[in-house]
Structures are given as C-alpha cells and as structure tokens.
C-alpha cells in the first residue's frame, strides 16, 4: 500500500481554504455602495464636498467633510459654527447612493456630533432635516446638544440609486453651537 506524504494531502485543503477566502472577500466587496455627485450649497464654508469621502475601513460609510480655517475677508471661521461673530450657519450637502449589482439600498443612517456653550443666559439652537428618495423628514431639533442620529428605512422601495440631501441650520443669539463630525451609513440587501 502506497501512502502519500502529508504535505501532498494538505495541498487540496490549502487550495480549498484559499478559494473560500477569495470568494468570501469578493462577496463582501460586492456589497460596497458608491457615493456619487457629492455637492454642498455653501462652498468654502460649513460642509465640504471636496473632503467628503467613504470611510477606508467601511466603504458603506460616508464621512462628511467640514471646512476649516478663516474667511480671509471677514476673519470669521469657516467651521460649521453659529456664535456671536456669525449668528446663523446653514448648509446643505447632497449626494446619490448607488447599490452594487444585485443589491438595493435598505437603510440609511445619518449621525452628527458637535458641541455648544452652556451658560445661564446662552441661547443657541439648531435643526437638521433631510430628503431621502424624495421623502422629507426631520432629523432633529436641538438647543444645547447638537448630537443626533436619524435612520431612513427605504427597503420597501427597493431602490438601486437613492438621492440624499441633508440640511443643517444653526442659530445663536448668545453662546455658540457647532457641528464637528457627521457621517452616513448605508445598508444594502440582495434583490
């Protein structure tokens, strides 16, 4: 009786394991959405379409960019901030989400974080709204805490491409309020 060396017996297992890993990676990669036509309404202030990009560690998460620095004409910050120097800050960012072949967009979640000054006489507030696939909704209204999260469940629509528009409005009579981070997380389902 002839026996095979153990290294030859392991070759088919190694090939099978490698093929399984490649197919799994290809399947995971196939579920990656594309974010297209990213625009913002107020160039050079507040939201920044040019630095808005998918998260390298999760391509289905869009990290919304924000402008920084000072306006050279007014010497007022370009950050998304309402304060005594600028009582109102408003901007809209819009983009389209395209699901990969064989999938549709099922859920979209927007999350933002920020800060505000709190004092006995401070008065600041803000609101965020969005339009997802033609349906408008409030993301939230806030005074001292600009952190909020909103989810749009669009699974019933089974859309391959979903237009999204997010509008942020900040107001300050005294004190300040700002949005410093925001992102959009997309979930897809197979058709």
Residue 96 burial (C-beta neighbours within 10 Å; 0-12, 13-18, 19+): middle
Residue 33 predicted with pLDDT over 70: yes
**Confidence class of residue 66 from pLDDT cuts 50, 70 and 90?**
very high
The half-sphere exposure of 142 on its side-chain side, counting CA atoms within 13 A, is 25
- Helix, strand, or coil here: 9? helix
pTM for this predicted structure: 0.82
Residue 44 burial (C-beta neighbours within 10 Å; 0-12, 13-18, 19+): exposed
**Confidence class of residue 164 from pLDDT cuts 50, 70 and 90?**
very high
pLDDT at 16: 43
- Cβ of 178: how many Cβ atoms within 10 Å? 22
Question: What top-level class would CATH report for the domain 33-190?
Answer: mainly beta
Query: Among residues of the chain, what percentage have pLDDT more than 90?
Result: 72
pLDDT at 118: 73
91 and 160 Cβ atoms separated by less than 8 Å: no
pLDDT, tens digit (0-9, with 9 covering 90-100), for 78-93: 999 998 888 999 999 9
The strand pairing partners of 103, in sequence order, are 190
Domain ranges of the chain: 33-190
Q: How far is CA 81 from CA 47, 116, 180, in A?
A: 11, 9, 9
């Amino acid at each position: 009786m002839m026996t095979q060396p153990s290294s030859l017996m392991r070759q088919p297992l190694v090939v099978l394991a490698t093929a399984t890993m490649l197919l799994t990676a290809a399947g995971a990669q196939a579920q990656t959405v594309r974010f297209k036509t990213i625009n913002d309404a107020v160039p050079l202030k507040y939201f920044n379409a040019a630095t808005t990009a998918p998260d390298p560690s999760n391509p289905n998460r869009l990290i919304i960019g924000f402008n920084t620095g000072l306006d050279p004409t007014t010497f007022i910050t370009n950050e998304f901030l309402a304060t005594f120097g600028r009582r109102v800050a408003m901007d809209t960012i819009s983009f389209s989400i395209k699901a990969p072949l064989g999938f549709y967009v099922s859920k979209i979640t927007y999350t933002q974080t920020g800060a505000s000054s709190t004092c006995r006489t401070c008065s600041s507030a803000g609101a965020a709204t969005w339009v997802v696939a033609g349906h408008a909704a409030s993301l939230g209204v806030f005074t001292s805490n600009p952190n909020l999260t909103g989810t749009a469940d669009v699974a019933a629509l089974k859309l391959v491409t979903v237009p999204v528009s997010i509008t942020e409005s900040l107001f300050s009579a005294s004190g300040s309020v700002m949005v410093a981070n925001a992102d959009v997380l997309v979930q897809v389902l197979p058709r």
